[in-house]
Every structure is written in structure tokens, then in C-alpha cells.
Chains A and B, each alone.
Chain A
Amino acid sequence: MTSIPPPVYWRQTKNWQNLLGKIGTVILATTNFVLIEIEGQRYELMTVTGDHLKPKDKAVCVFRRLSLPTPSGLIEYGLKAHVLKS
């Protein structure tokens, strides 16, 4: 497994704050992946493990690792969709 190149990681970090904590509505959902609408924009996001989101569910963007870390490379972080508890 190759790890993320540093400049790619660096560019990605600038987008984290735009989605962290934002709440959206699930449009379509499959295993571990959803199409979600957040503030009028559509995003395709991985979901938090164990969540079984369905269309029309509310979900919040949370900060998680995006892949299993390699032994020596940079750790990749990003936003995932997590079911919003009422």
C-alpha cells in the first residue's frame, strides 16, 4: 500500500474545516457510502462503520481516518457521514 504524497495531503487539509460538523440529508445510500446534500451541495462520502444510513436520514460530517495507515507513510484523514442522533 502506498501512502498519500505530502503535497496531496496538504491540499486536502484545507477542505476539512468546510465540512466538519455540517449536517446534511442522505439522498442515496449503499454499504459504507452515501450521496448526501449539505447546504444545497451534493457530496459523496464514506460513512462511519456500523452506520446504516438510508435516504432522508440526517447525517453529520465527522473527522475520521480515511484508510488503514501504512507503517511509515502519512496518515490520511477526512470527513465521513455519521448518522445524526435525534
Chain B
Amino acid sequence: MPTKTDVGIISYGAYLPRLLIKTEAIALANNSPNLGTCLGVNSKTVPDFDEDTATISVQAAFQAISRTKNFVKKNIQALFIGSESHPYVVKPTGTIVSAALGLGQRLAMADLQFACKAGTQALQICLSYVKSGMAKYGLAIGADTAQSCPGDALEYTAGAGGAAFIVGTKQPIVKLLATTSVATDTPDFWRRPKQNYPQHAGRFSGQPAYFYHSSYATRQILDQAGLSPADFDYCLFHTPNAKFPKAFAQEMGFTKKQMKYSLLVKKIGNLYAGSAMLGLANILDHAKNGDKILMVSYGSGSGSDAFVWQCAPGFDQGKKFYQNLVNQQIGKDFISYSHYRRLTKI
């Protein structure tokens, strides 16, 4: 759906836990070859014992809000948070976040779950709210403390972190040019309510799931926007590992240069609902006036959201407040496997 009114990103923030574990340490503990190497993931973030999706969401959103004028916070009237690891099954993360931030009580709010695309779905919903005039500003957050079973392949990639975007119609720094979504019942990854860890369908998660839906959404949006891969300065595809997005980009005709800032997965792992959101934040940290960005997320189960963004005139002007937001948060505190297990048992 191409957008005709100016709607877009007013501000953004990100948060990464400072603890990390090397995939090498996981392999050593499991007495197995380092799967991280073939997946292109060297380390991943680990939430500390007092961090969860709510705390990550608050910190990312606080960063976004602190870079706006006071009236923006007071007029955030839509808050949607996408995650696979909401602290409660029943009781929304969003109300905790809204209380911590001191948002107004006039608030459309719900938690979303759609695996790794829950964050971008939150973003699309907030954009719809502001575009329709139902909210003056919207706050969309994608955050996760991803779970993985010890010894499983996912243990090498499931990380933690999140990003937050404030969207509105008044002088966005990044305009939304087009957005679309696709969803089908493709069971590549799931978790039942009383299970601690998700199940996945191995290689079935590839072609029929990730690649099919990402491809569908990408072709759809390029067609709607009348653009081709060469028209973009940057592209971002979902990063369950480094291997999939690189293969996909090549298949769709995007270059390594366009992917330069979208492979944080190598250092921080897959942030699930925070993955594409953080990827966009990282690209914006490096983008300049007029840059076009293609963002395509993927969520198991399955679906994909696609967005075409363009940095608005004046984006560079506002950039002095946005230097290197994501990179400065990537920590250097590598922990042992036993420390990691203690933290992930909570």
C-alpha cells in the first residue's frame, strides 16, 4: 500500500544487553562443532538476570522519547509491542512500558506475537493509527529475550534486545513510502503455552517459510512502489542467522554494499521481534538525506512485513542526535557458558 500523506519515523531508540556469549563457548560446552561458524554468528547478547522484554522495551523507548520534544511523549496515543517473550501470557507488556515512560492514559495498546515479525507488525499498526488520524503519535517496539533449548541449533543464535520507533505525520525524519504484508499458515516454528522452548521444523524453515514469504513481500512492495533493487541505498532482511539474508539478498538482486549495516546478527545474534527493528535503527545511524531503505521482516508461522523508507530532507540535520546509537551499545562483556545457563534459567 503506497502512502500518500507524510507519515514516518519521528525518532528511534535501541537497547542491547551488555552481556554476550561467544558461539565458540556454546560449542565447547555442548562438545559439538561450532554451528555458529556455519550460520555466520560469532556471538549473541544475553539478558542479565534483571532484564526482560519489558525492561528492554522501556530503555529503547526512553531513548527514542528523549530525542524528541516534550509534546511528543504526551501525545503518544498508540503503543504496540511485538515479542515472543512477553513477561506475561495474560497482562500486557505495553502497560508496564507506558507506566515507566509516563505516557498519557489515552492509549491504544496491545501486545503482539508473530514470531520475529511481531515488531514490524507493531510498527505497521502504529503507522496506520497515525495515518488515519486515530493517534497523533505512535510508539512501536520490537523486543525479545529469545529462548532456545540447550543443545539445539537455536542456542547458537537466540539473542536479546530491541528497538523502538516513534511515528507521526508532523515532519518525520524518515518517510514511509510504501508498506505491505503477507501471511500464510506455514508451521516452521512454534511454542505451546506450557513449553519453555520453541520447536522448529529444521530445513522446512528455509525455502517454504523464510524464503517464500520474504520473497513474496519483497516482490509485492517493489511492484507497488515502482522500484527495483538498484534504487535502494540500503536493504534489510530478517536475520535468523547471517546465511539466510545474504542468500536471499543475492537471489533478489541486492548487493553486499546495500547490506552493509544489516548484519548485526554476527555479533548480537537473532533478536527475534527486535531483529528487523534493530537492523533499521542501525541503518538509520549511518544513512543520510534522501537515502532509500528496503526493510523486509519475516515471522515464523509464517508472514512477512515490507517497508520502503526514505530519509527526509533535514534527516542529516537531526542526525547529530543519532550518532551510532546501536553500535555504542554492543558490549564487550563475554560470559561463560555456566553463567549463561544460570541467566537463561530465570
Asked if A80 is an interface residue, CB under 8 A from chain B, the answer is: yes
Nearest Cβ on chain A to B62's Cβ, whole angstroms: 5
**Chain B 52-96 against A: per-residue CB contact (8 Å), 1 yes, 0 no?**
101100110010001000000000000000000001100000001
Complex CA gap A74/B190 in Å reads 26
Asked if B99 is an interface residue, CB under 8 A from chain A, the answer is: yes
Interface residues of B (CB under 8 A from A): 18-19, 48-52, 54-55, 58-59, 62, 66, 87-88, 96, 99-102, 333, 346
Interchain pairs with CB closer than 8 A, number: 57
Complex CA gap A55/B97 in Å reads 31
Complex CA gap A21/B100 in Å reads 10
Query: A75 — which chain B residues lie within 8 A by C-beta?
Result: 52, 54, 87-88
Given contacts A13-B99, A48-B48, A77-B100, contact A20 B55 (CB under 8 A): no
The 4 residue pairs across chains A and B that have the minimum distance between CB atoms: A17-B102, A63-B58, A64-B50, A13-B99
User: Are A77 and B48 closer than 8 Å at their CB atoms?
Assistant: no
- Of all chain A residues, the one with the shortest Cβ separation from B63 is A21
Chain B interface mostly: mixed
User: Are A69 and B346 closer than 8 Å at their CB atoms?
Assistant: yes
Contact of B99 among A17, A49, A80 (CB under 8 A): A17
Complex CA gap A13/B346 in Å reads 23
Query: A77 — which chain B residues lie within 8 A by C-beta?
Result: 54-55, 96, 100
Q: Contacts A17-B102, A21-B62 given; 10 further ones with Cβ under 8 A? A: A13-B100, A16-B100, A20-B100, A50-B18, A50-B48, A63-B54, A65-B50, A69-B87, A75-B52, A77-B55
Given contacts A62-B59, A68-B346, contact A49 B102 (CB under 8 A): no
Given contacts A62-B59, A63-B59, A65-B55, contact A48 B100 (CB under 8 A): no
- Of all chain A residues, the one with the shortest Cβ separation from B65 is A21
Complex CA gap A25/B48 in Å reads 24
6 contacts between A and B (CB under 8 A): A13-B99, A13-B100, A50-B333, A65-B49, A69-B87, A77-B54
Complex CA gap A69/B51 in Å reads 11
Which residues of A (54-86) have their CB < 8 Å from a CB of B? 62-66, 68-69, 75, 77, 80
Given contacts A20-B58, A20-B62, A69-B346, contact A63 B100 (CB under 8 A): yes
User: Are A64 and B55 closer than 8 Å at their CB atoms?
Assistant: yes
User: Are A20 and B52 closer than 8 Å at their CB atoms?
Assistant: no
Nearest Cβ on chain B to A60's Cβ, whole angstroms: 10
User: Are B48 and A49 closer than 8 Å at their CB atoms?
Assistant: yes
